[in-house]
Structure 1
Amino acid sequence: MKTISLFLIFLTVLSCKEGNKPLNKDVKTEIENVAVKLSYPAELEKVLEAHGGIENWKEQKTLTFNKPTPEVTEAYTVDLQSRKEKVVVGTVERGFDGENVWVLDPENQFKGDAIFYKNLYFYFYAMPFVLADSGINYSEVENLEVDGASYPGVKITFGEGVGTSPKDEYFLYYDATTYQMVWLGYTVTYRTGEKSDKISWIQYDNWEDVSGVKLPKSISWHKSEGNNIMGIAKTVLFENVTLSKKEMGDSYYAKPESATIAKKKSN
């Protein structure tokens, strides 16, 4: 409330000084920057700053990274503004053109749910910045206790109609000293459409600097019972990461002529 009051005072003083004059570009930018900051809890702002800052992230246009597996390397390209995506896995290509999820699978190898996987690993990889998207609600949550350490956090929920699974919930926990993200808890409601009480846990403790932004070199899913987090279940690596202020263009993400449009799979 204190920040909001200062912002209102700023606007009042500005109005008195300028009368009916139009705001110049610098003043407009300052107001826009204040408005953006007001949309996040103070704790989340500090987390974002610890990872390079939301302004730096929003200047980037294209993210690429590889996710190696024992069988094959998955190559991801994501438009950070529109969230269009292309994923190349051997002879299989999956993509999102802004409207439809498509699959190009000439050898009939892909057996998964392309809609479920849309932006999935991008979302886990691009933490904590994706939790600063529009349409997100923030609330307080109790600290997470793991191995004798206590991590403060923020609960994230989504507005109606936001994303593929708006009933999903996320819980971001961070180091109280460095404000770097340490744990992510999340629920999945994609196929049922109903809220879930089962929380999955990912540990973030291996970061690298990419164009001034801290992004994970690896993330580890843990076994758990509720908020009781146990040993590592699996670790996912990320390699050959780039951030660019250049766009790939709509044609790069467009559905190939021989690709099919994916349909949501049921349980």
Structure 2
Amino acid sequence: MKKAALLLLIMVLFFSCKKDTKTNDIKEPSQDSIATKIYPENISKIFDTHGGLETWKTMQSLVFTMPKPNGDEITTTNLKSRESLIDMPNHTIGFDGNEVWLLKKDTTAYKGNPRFYYNLFFYFYAMPFVLGDDGITYKDVEPLTFEGKEYPGILISYSSGIGESPEDEYILYYDAETNKMAWLAYTVTFFSKKKTKDFHLIKYDDWQMVNDLLLPKTFKWYGFENKVVGEFQKEMHFVNVFTSKEKPEDILFEKPENAQTIE
């Protein structure tokens, strides 16, 4: 009942009317810039296979749930401002467009870094569409081989000053027959602030159709060394996925009085 009530509250906040809205420092991309931006042919075909970048850009909100052993983790994101809210059994992490905050629901200590975590799974989940953001460069790389099949790769890198960790790099591997995204190799530079060649690997194992968009249903992590796929490590499922053209209410992301600001 608590989970159902929380999801109902989020939906109510999406569609409720609010006269006073705050000004956000993050600018939304103009429709002109969206229409005129040219992407490499291979990434464009991947966008199209997953429902189209234009369809994605009509959406203003994304909600998904990750079932975990200690309870569900529900992530809500404003797709334009990238404000976010992660509701967990013992904690809530939020980003109001300026600050990351942490709210403790009880005495349980949060084991992790909220600033690192607040948009981590959003980026993984919103693939391949977040690879259409500004400040990205694309480069073809050697394919990934798994069970005798080759998956062409596209290296993704960022301009200086883009996001929390512009040193991060991704490699999107895709099925050349279907143009569907298949794997994501990624580096983690949040803590070191230095580029690394130590890639981790996620298999986008299953997909689900949500509002004409093909979005992930299951992730599987594998070992990855010297660009060779290793042993299966773990998996993550996504349920209760919701997208909308309606903007989430700003109050959803506002820092509560008893929450801690994360520097």
Change (3 A) 1:134 1:33: closer
Is the Cα contact below 8 Å between 2:61 and 2:76 reproduced in 1? yes
1:259 CA displacement: 0.5
Match of 2:189, as an amino acid? Answer: T
Match of 1:115, as an amino acid? Answer: R
The share of aligned pairs that are identical, in percent, is 41
What TM-score do the two structures reach when normalised by structure 1? 0.84
1:220 CA displacement: 0.6
Equivalent positions of 1:22-37 (< 5 A) are 34-36=35-37
Secondary structure class of the residue paired with 1:78: strand
User: Deviation string for 1:146-196 (max 9, x for gaps)?
Assistant: 221111121100000101110111000100010000010011111011111
Match of 2:66, as an amino acid? Answer: K
* Higher Rg: 1
Unaligned stretches of 5+ in structure 1? 1-28
* Equivalence for 2:174: 174
What TM-score do the two structures reach when normalised by structure 2? 0.85
* Equivalence for 1:191: 191
User: Deviation string for 1:37-57 (max 9, x for gaps)?
Assistant: x1x111000000000000000
Match of 1:183, as an amino acid? Answer: W
1:205 CA displacement: 2.4
Secondary structure class of the residue paired with 1:205: strand
Number of paired residues?
233
* Equivalence for 1:104: 103
Q: Distance in 2 between matches of 1:145 and 1:125?
A: 23
Q: Distance in 1 between matches of 2:261 and 2:43?
A: 37
Secondary structure class of the residue paired with 1:179: coil
Match of 2:154, as an amino acid? Answer: V
* Equivalence for 2:132: 132
Change (3 A) 1:212 1:194: same
Match of 2:256, as an amino acid? Answer: P
* Equivalence for 2:122: 122
* Equivalence for 2:26: none
* Equivalence for 2:113: 113
Secondary structure class of the residue paired with 2:44: helix
Q: Distance in 1 between matches of 2:135 and 2:34?
A: 18
Structure with greater contact order relative to length (CA < 8 Å, sep ≥ 6): 2
Unaligned stretches of 5+ in structure 2? 1-30
Equivalent positions of 1:40-119 (< 5 A) are 40-109=39-108, 110-119=110-119
* Equivalence for 1:260: 260
Secondary structure class of the residue paired with 1:55: helix
Q: What is the Cα-based RMSD across aligned positions, in Å? A: 1.5
Detail structure 1 runs of 4+ shifted over 4 Å in the superposition: 31-34
* Equivalence for 1:225: 225
* Equivalence for 2:235: 235
Q: Distance in 1 between matches of 2:35 and 2:45?
A: 15
1:34 CA displacement: 5.0
1:35 CA displacement: 1.2
Match of 1:35, as an amino acid? Answer: T
Is the Cα contact below 8 Å between 2:144 and 2:152 reproduced in 1? yes
